[in-house]
Amino acid sequence: MQAELLIYPQWLLPVDAQDRQLKEHAVAVADGRILAVLPAAQARQSITATRVLELPGHVLIPGLVNAHTHAAMTLLRGFADDLPLMTWLHEYMWPMEKRWVDPGFVGDGSRLAVLEMLRGGVTCFNDMYLFPEVTAQVAADAGMRAVIGMMVVDFPTGYGDGADAYIAKGLAMHAHYRDHPLIRVGFAPHSPYAVSNAPLERLRTLADELEVPVHIHLHEARDEVVQSLRDHGERPLARLESLGLIGPGLVAVHMTQLEDTEIERLAAAGAHVVHCPESNLKLASGFCPVVRLLEAGVNVALGTDGAASNNDLDMLGEMRTAALLAKGVSGSAAALPAAQALRMATLNGARALGLEREIGSIEPGKSADLVALDLRDAHTQPLYHPVSQLVYAAGRHQVRQVWIQGRQVIRDGAPTSLDPAAVIGAAEGWAQRLRPS
C-alpha cells in the first residue's frame, strides 16, 4: 500500500466508539485523508510512504474543534475584564466595536486567533462576528478549517444597517464558499435579545433550504431569561421553539440557565449545545448543566468564546476546566471523565457543525486533521494513561505537529502558513490605537 505520510506516534487516541487508547500504532495518510490505522509492526511491513515521521513520546489525537469563537476579538483581549456580562457587552464591547471594527480590524484579529489556535492544536473553529467574509478568507489562506457565521443583529453596525443587510451579505458569502474544501457557512444570529422574531423566522426558512446550522448565544445568563420573560412572556428557548428553530441544526451556546423540561426538549429535538466553561466562569454567567445534558442524550461540544472574555483560545485548557467544573458542580468525581472531555473537544464539536463524517476522529476515510503532542515534559511524566495526561496535565506548548486535510500547518511547533512576527506586529499596532488613555 502506498501512502504520502506515515506517522508513528507512541500513543494514538482515535476517539472511536470504544474510546481506545492505542500504543505502537501508525496512521497512514494519502490525498489528504486517513488511509489506514493499524499496528506499527504491520504498517512497517505493508505500507510504503513518501514521508515517514517517527514520534516517540508523542500522542496523536484528532484536530481539536473550537465550536464557539469570535476570532477577531483577540484584539480586545484584556480590554475590559472583571465585569458582568451585560455591563461588559453593552458598555464596553458594543461601543468599542461600533467605533473600531472594520475589515482591517477583523483581518488582523482573525489572523492572530488562527495563529493562536493552530499552535494550540485547533484545526476547526465555528465563528460568529462582523465582516465574516474577512475571517473566512483569513482561515482559507492559512489552510484552516472553519464554519463561518452569517452574523445577524437587529441594530446597525459598521457592517450593515439591519437584519436584511446582514442576511443578504451572508447569503453572498455562502454562495462564494459553497464548494470550498475547508470553509463552511452557517447562520449566526447573535442572541434572542439582539434579533427580533421576523429575522429569526426568515433565518429558519433559509437554514432549512440551505441545510446550514444556526449558531446562537442562548440562555447565557440569568438577565437574558428575565428580559425574555418581561418582553415576550416566555423563556428564550420557548420563544425559539415557537419560531421553529429548535432542531438538529441548532447550535446553542452557553446554556447556563436550563430547567429539566428544557433539557428534555433539546434532547428530543436533536439540538446541540456548546459549553464555554472558562468564559462562563469569568463573566459569572452560571454553570451549564453538562452532565444532565449528556445523560439526556444531548450532544455537547466545547468552545472558548472570544478572547475578550476568556482570555485565550486554548481548547486543552477548556477540556481540563470542563472536566473539573463538572465534577465540582455535580458532586461526583466520576462526572465528565477525561475521555468524554476529549470527545467533546473533537467528535462532538464536529457533530454539532455537521462535520462528523469528515473530521473529529482518526478513522479511515476521514480527513487527515491530526495533532501530535510531545508528552516527554516533566509535568506529563510518568505516563500511565495518555488521555488522562492529555486532559489533566498537558499544555498547548506541547503541540508539535498539526495537519489539516493532510497539509502540515504546524511543523515542530512553528506555523507553516502564517508569519508570527507580522501577525503579532499588526496586533501591537491595534493596541496602540485602542489602548485607553
The C-alpha atoms of residue 101 and residue 103 are separated, in whole angstroms, by 7
What DSSP designation does 405 have?
T
Please, are residues 256 and 285 in contact by the beta-carbon 8 Å criterion? Answer: yes
Note the pLDDT of residue 437.
59
Q: 375: pLDDT confidence band, cut at 50, 70 and 90? A: very high
The phi, psi pair for 78, rounded to 5°, reads 80, 5
Q: What is the pLDDT of residues 57-91, one digit of tens each?
A: 999 999 999 999 999 999 999 988 998 888 988 89
Q: What is the pLDDT of residues 289-312, one digit of tens each?
A: 999 999 999 999 999 999 999 999
- The angle formed by the CA atoms of residues 236, 273 and 120, to the nearest 5 degrees, is 130
DSSP three-state, residue 153: coil
Cell of 80: 475590559
Burial class (CB in 10 A: 0-12, 13-18, 19+), 231: exposed
The C-alpha atoms of residue 153 and residue 169 are separated, in whole angstroms, by 13
The C-alpha atoms of residue 150 and residue 290 are separated, in whole angstroms, by 27
Give whole-number Cα distances, 173 to 135, 137, 169, 232, in Å: 11, 10, 6, 32
The C-alpha atoms of residue 181 and residue 71 are separated, in whole angstroms, by 20
Cell of 343: 470527545
Instruction: List the one residue out of 333, 316, 326, 327 whose CA is nearest residue 389.
Output: 316
The C-alpha atoms of residue 75 and residue 93 are separated, in whole angstroms, by 11
Note the pLDDT of residue 97.
86
Cell of 396: 498547548
Q: What is the pLDDT of residues 166-220, one digit of tens each?
A: 999 999 999 999 999 999 999 999 999 999 999 999 999 999 999 999 999 999 9
Q: Is the pLDDT of residue 435 over 90?
A: no
Cell of 116: 493562536
Q: What is the pLDDT of residues 89-117, one digit of tens each?
A: 889 888 888 889 999 999 999 999 999 99
The C-alpha atoms of residue 426 and residue 39 are separated, in whole angstroms, by 46
Q: What is the pLDDT of residues 319-371, one digit of tens each?
A: 999 999 999 999 999 999 999 999 999 999 999 999 999 999 999 999 999 99
